[in-house]
Chain A
Amino acid sequence: DIVMTQSPDSLPVSLGERATINCKSSQSILYNSNDMNYVAWFQQKPGQPPKLLFYGASFRDSGVPDRFRGSGSGTDFTLTISSLQAEDVAVYYCLQYYGTPWTFGQGTKVEIK
Chain B
Amino acid sequence: QVQLVESGGGVVQPGRSLRLSCGASGFIFSNFGMHWVRQAPGKGLEWVAVISYDGSSKFYSDSVKGRFTVSRDNSENTLYLQMNNVRAEDTAVYHCTTLMGLGFSYGFPLNAFDVWGQGTMVAVSS
The chain A residues found within 8 Å of chain B, CB to CB, are 1, 40, 42, 44, 49-52, 55, 59, 61, 91, 93, 95, 97, 100-107
Contacts and interface: CB of A to CB of B under 8 A. Distances in A.
Interface stretch (B17-25, B70-78, B83-91, B109-117): B109-117
B45 A107 contact: yes
Given A52-B114, A55-B102, A101 B47 contact: yes
Which of A1, A49, A52, A104 has the most CB atoms of chain B within a 10 A radius of its CB?
A49
Contacts of B62: 1, 101
A59 B112 contact: yes
A93 B100 contact: no
Contacts of B116: 49-51
Contacts of B118: 49
B79 interface: no
Contacts, number: 55
B6 to A, nearest CB: 10
Contacts of B60: 101
Given A42-B45, A44-B45, A100-B59, A52 B119 contact: no
Nearest to A96: B47
Interface of B: 35, 37, 44-47, 50, 59-62, 95, 97, 99-100, 102-103, 112, 114, 116-119
A101 B117 CA distance: 21
Contacts of B100: 40, 52, 55, 97
A17 B116 CA distance: 30
Contacts of A55: 100, 102, 112
B102 A49 contact: no
Which of B35, B47, B50, B118 has the most CB atoms of chain A within a 10 A radius of its CB?
B47
21 contacts: A1-B62, A40-B100, A40-B112, A42-B45, A49-B119, A50-B37, A50-B45, A50-B116, A55-B102, A59-B112, A93-B44, A93-B45, A95-B45, A95-B47, A95-B99, A97-B103, A101-B60, A101-B62, A103-B47, A104-B44, A104-B45
